[in-house]
Amino acid sequence: MIEIKVPELAESITEGTISQWLINVGDKVEKGGSVVELETDKVNVEIIAEDSGIVSKLLGEPGDTVEVGATIAILDANGAPVAVSTPAPLAEQPKQETTEAPKAAAPSAEQTATLQGLPNTNRPIASPAARKMARELGIDLNDVRSTDPLGRVRPHDVQAHAAAPKEAPAAPKSPAPAPVAKTEFEKPVERVKMSRRRQTIAKRLVEVQQTSAMLTTFNEVDMTAIMELRKERKDAFEKKHDVRLGFMSFFTKAVVAALKQFPLLNAEIQGDELIIKKFYDIGIAVAAPDGLVVPVVRDANQLNFAEIESEIRNLGMKARDNKLS
């Protein structure tokens, strides 16, 4: 018996909704084949089979909510035909203590490097079928461009890489562009003249950022209270506002509060001036057909939870339809 489980999708995603099954009971599934399409707050993703077998049971129906780590389908590894039966509705999976703990929710170093766009010194994230194909073709998975919204390399990515012509040597870098003229903001800002010493520090830090490998520091936060609050109110919230209560609205509210407490984090350098913004536009990463994009939730400090979730949903739909302006 082979269990197909919901994999970790992203750091802030703990559950998804079954959009549609791509298989039926009795079907033969090959390793690396798509099984089900899940819809989450940020991305639609297809779950693939890690092994081959005959589908013996589907543990959910379209519209059911499933948590990360939950078993959603069972394959018969022996390949014996099975009788078709109607799957029972999926009961809510009880959360394990390790799932709720921030440490368990944190991504692995391998996933972190991929999601954050950092150099990955470990193995790239790829399906077993893709790894096998890459070994057979002598292809380094680090060189394969993934078309998966979450950066996972799949067999068709390896095939596309193998079929693609070798890239020509990169052209010499063009000269740096001329300094950009000062931007006049429509929203309130505070302009602070920087001292010569501060200008030099800023210039050196930019040079370091362009020439040195950048690392990201992760701090763990106890999300137990927020997870319990969301679990308690998500059904009533969706019924009242016609939008799901995700974690992104909580994160957005937290970011706005932090920016108000530390205003220099909401600033940019323009020439010899430090521009401290008195407005709060928050970028939210969502998946688009060609990769991740970061549309902006404008004036997030003026929005309530329902308005933030609605705006994120609308931006996500526009991203998937290539209608972001």
- Residue 76 pLDDT more than 90? no
Higher per-residue pLDDT: 288 or 16: 16
Q: Which of 18-27, 103-112, 288-297, 302-311 has the highest mean pLDDT?
A: 302-311
Cα 269–chain centre separation: 29
CATH code of 112's domain: 4.10.320.10
User: What pLDDT, on the 0 to 100 scale, is given for residue 234?
Assistant: 92
In the block, tokens 């084949």 appear at 33
Once rounded to an integer, what is the mean pLDDT over residues 145-152?
72
Q: Which residue, of 40, 66, 95, is where some domain finishes?
A: 95
Q: How many domains does the chain have?
A: 3
Asked if residue 280 belongs to a domain, the reply is: yes
Asked if residue 180 belongs to a domain, the reply is: no
Statement to judge: residues 128 and 249 lie in one domain: no
Statement to judge: residues 38 and 133 lie in one domain: no
CB burial of 263-284 (b: ≥16 within 10 Å; e: otherwise) equals eeebbeebeebbbbbebbebeb
Statement to judge: residues 269 and 150 lie in one domain: no
C-alpha separations of 153 from 128, 130, 157, 280 in Å = 10, 7, 6, 36
Q: What is the pLDDT of residues 275-305, one digit of tens each?
A: 999 999 999 988 777 778 889 999 999 999 9
User: What pLDDT, on the 0 to 100 scale, is given for residue 9?
Assistant: 72
- 248: amino acid identity, one letter: M
Q: Which residue, of 69, 95, 121, is where some domain finishes?
A: 95
Asked if residue 126 belongs to a domain, the reply is: yes
110 confidence band (pLDDT: 50, 70, 90): very low
CATH code of 272's domain: 3.30.559.10
Among the residue ranges 27-41, 107-121, 137-151, 175-189, the one predicted with the least confidence is 107-121
172 confidence band (pLDDT: 50, 70, 90): low
Statement to judge: residues 27 and 127 lie in one domain: no
CA-CA distance, 104 to 277, in Å (whole number)?
Answer: 36
- 69: amino acid identity, one letter: G
- Residue 84 pLDDT more than 50? no
CA-CA distance, 259 to 253, in Å (whole number)?
Answer: 10
Q: Which of 63-72, 144-153, 298-307 has the highest mean pLDDT?
A: 298-307
Average pLDDT in the chain:
79
140: which 2 tokens? Answer: 């380094």
CATH code of 47's domain: 2.40.50.100
User: What pLDDT, on the 0 to 100 scale, is given for residue 235?
Assistant: 94
Q: Which residue, of 40, 71, 95, is where some domain finishes?
A: 95
Statement to judge: residues 199 and 286 lie in one domain: yes
Statement to judge: residues 82 and 131 lie in one domain: no
Beta strand spans in 49-179 (E): 53-58, 65-67, 71-76
Statement to judge: residues 81 and 124 lie in one domain: no
231: which 2 tokens? Answer: 């679990």
Statement to judge: residues 247 and 141 lie in one domain: no
Biggest CA pair distance of the chain: 78
104 confidence band (pLDDT: 50, 70, 90): very low
- Residue 90 pLDDT more than 70? no
Beta-carbon count within 10 A of 193 CB: 10
Statement to judge: residues 130 and 194 lie in one domain: no
Higher per-residue pLDDT: 148 or 217: 217
pTM above 0.85, yes or no: no
Statement to judge: residues 278 and 312 lie in one domain: yes
- Residue 109 pLDDT more than 80? no
Statement to judge: residues 89 and 119 lie in one domain: no
Asked if residue 179 belongs to a domain, the reply is: no
Q: What is the pLDDT of residues 231-284, one digit of tens each?
A: 999 999 999 999 999 999 999 999 999 999 999 999 999 988 999 999 999 999
Nearest one of 9, 13, 18, 10 to 65, comparing CA atoms: 18
What does the chain come to in residues? 325
Range of the domain at 70: 2-95
Among the residue ranges 27-31, 88-92, 121-125, the one predicted with the least confidence is 88-92
Statement to judge: residues 212 and 303 lie in one domain: yes
